[in-house]
Amino acid sequence: MSSSFDSTRVAVIGGGPAGLMAAEALARHGVQVDVYDAMPSVGRKFLMAGKGGMNITHSEPLEPFLGRYGARREQIAPLLDTFGPDALRAWLHGLGVETFVGSSGRVFPTDMKAAPMLRAWLHRLREAGVRFHMRHKWTGWDNDGGDTAAHTLRFATPDGEQRVTCDAVVFALGGASWPRLGSDAAWVPLLSARGVPVTPLQPANCGFDADWSLYLRERFAGQPVKSVAIMLTDVDNKVHNRQGEILLTETGLEGSLIYALSAVIRERILADGDVTITLDLAPGLTLERVVGEVTRPRGSRSMSTHLHGRIGISGVKLALLHEILSKEAFADANGLAHAIKALPVRLTRARPIAEAISTAGGVPFEALDTHLMIERLPGAFCAGEMLDWEAPTGGYLLTACFASGLAAGRGALAYLEARGVPV
């Protein structure tokens, strides 16, 4: 085992968007910043998320935008007041990255790619003096973690254990989703051991299991179910009804519409053991219209052919009807019409957290001050997915990660200045 001592002003642990934004906020004011990451390079989850098109934020008005953060709206709002969607787009333009608004209102870089943006950002950070230390996995403190003036941090590296002393530290270690890209939640027991409360991590923006038949799994897994609406009631008896697209998988359902309702579905399963959602397979048609078309005389045509010809129900939607309904129910035209508008699908459990796009839970805002400093650990700040909040896909996750990183970086700067540490 080897040891090395390095005196730095601020250590940022985690090289995702939140950590890099904290580093930029500090370096911009002349603070020496060292970024540590367990992976061989920074931004791995960020790059993976951008493979299908880098959805950086959303263009909808701020009021509905804030509503996407659910129970944590009140805590996220001040962060977005300082650095919201418009400020994020302006910041990107300052990096030389132009953006555009897609048909869904989502905001993308013009080239749709994450890698050029990350390269430009890292170049600017290095020019500002930020130093990067890869394959450095944080393993805890060498001292009591906060009762002394400085933090002495321990890292496992390819060259053995190293210790780093700093005046402040920003933790931006992510949640527990996609652990192979670095977010493995190994920080949870380390903070818990110092008395920092951590709300248990749970999958968010995830798929859910349903007990499909072998036939449905083999024939239709991987197929999208387009133009569908979901209705379900949450634990507070509030009805949620949203339209979009879902994906039928071998194990159940996922896709953007499921992700948008994942918190509601997850909480119902936790409360009741399972949840039955209602699918509207023809959201563009009224119940009266569907009943009229389905009960129309069909002559010698099969019911499947009749459904396809009258209301466009075929393929995976037809397969779902066969999956859920008995033969007798499928043959009853009036009952079938009602099922098309309200098909009950039972979901039994969330997919494993390692498969989730993001996680809920983490360090609660109640354990932090207004600058995102951990109250039990003076000089230690938290940002990004480590914090206890969640949001659907669509740019909301990244926007809050950037904003919280900026807040934590500025908080660390204010902490240093209040202590009289020269910067």
Rounded distance between C-alpha atoms, residue 378 and residue 380, angstroms? 6
Summary mean pLDDT of the chain: 93
In the sheet that holds 99-101, the strands lie side by side as 57-58, 106-109, 99-101
DSSP characters over 148-165: SSSEEEEEEETTEEEEEE
What is the predicted pLDDT for the residue at 351? 96
Residue of 52 and 282 predicted with greater confidence: 282
Asked if residue 254 lies in contact with residue 206, where contact means CB atoms within 8 angstroms, the answer is yes
Asked if residue 163 lies in contact with residue 152, where contact means CB atoms within 8 angstroms, the answer is yes
Residue 6 has pLDDT above 70, yes or no: no
Percent of the chain with pLDDT over 70: 96
Rounded distance between C-alpha atoms, residue 171 and residue 13, angstroms? 5
Residue 143 has pLDDT above 70, yes or no: no
User: How confident is the model over 173-182, as pLDDT tens digits?
Assistant: 999 998 888 8
In order of 155, 173, 363, 422, the CA distances from 143 in angstroms are 13, 20, 21, 23
User: How confident is the model over 147-172, as pLDDT tens digits?
Assistant: 445 789 999 999 999 999 999 999 99
pLDDT band at 96 (very low <50, low <70, confident <90, very high): very high
Residue 105 has pLDDT above 50, yes or no: yes
User: How confident is the model over 221-254, as pLDDT tens digits?
Assistant: 999 999 999 999 999 999 999 999 999 999 999 9
pTM reported for the whole predicted model: 0.91
Map residue 274 onto helix, strand or coil: coil
Amino acid at 346: R
pLDDT band at 410 (very low <50, low <70, confident <90, very high): very high
pLDDT band at 53 (very low <50, low <70, confident <90, very high): confident
How many other C-beta atoms lie within 10 A of the C-beta of residue 13? 26
User: How confident is the model over 266-291, as pLDDT tens digits?
Assistant: 999 999 999 999 999 999 999 999 99
Residue 365 has pLDDT above 90, yes or no: yes
For the ranges 125-129, 142-146, 302-306, the maximum mean pLDDT occurs at: 125-129
Give the tokens for residue 339.
Answer: 């099922």
Mean pLDDT, residues 202-215: 96
> Of 214, 204, 303, nearest to 260 (Cα)?
204
CA angle in degrees (0–180, nearest 5) for 227-231-236: 150
- Domains of the chain in start order, with CATH, are 7-203+360-418 (3.50.50.60), 208-350 (no CATH)
CA angle in degrees (0–180, nearest 5) for 230-231-237: 150
Residue 2 has pLDDT above 70, yes or no: no
β-strand partners of 133: 36
User: How confident is the model over 315-363, as pLDDT tens digits?
Assistant: 999 999 999 999 999 999 999 999 999 999 999 999 999 999 999 999 9
> Of 154, 124, 152, 140, nearest to 8 (Cα)?
152
What is the predicted pLDDT for the residue at 48? 87
Residue 5 has pLDDT above 50, yes or no: no
pLDDT band at 8 (very low <50, low <70, confident <90, very high): low
Residue 256: CA atoms inside 13 Å, Cβ hemisphere, count? 14
What is the predicted pLDDT for the residue at 395? 94
pLDDT band at 146 (very low <50, low <70, confident <90, very high): very low
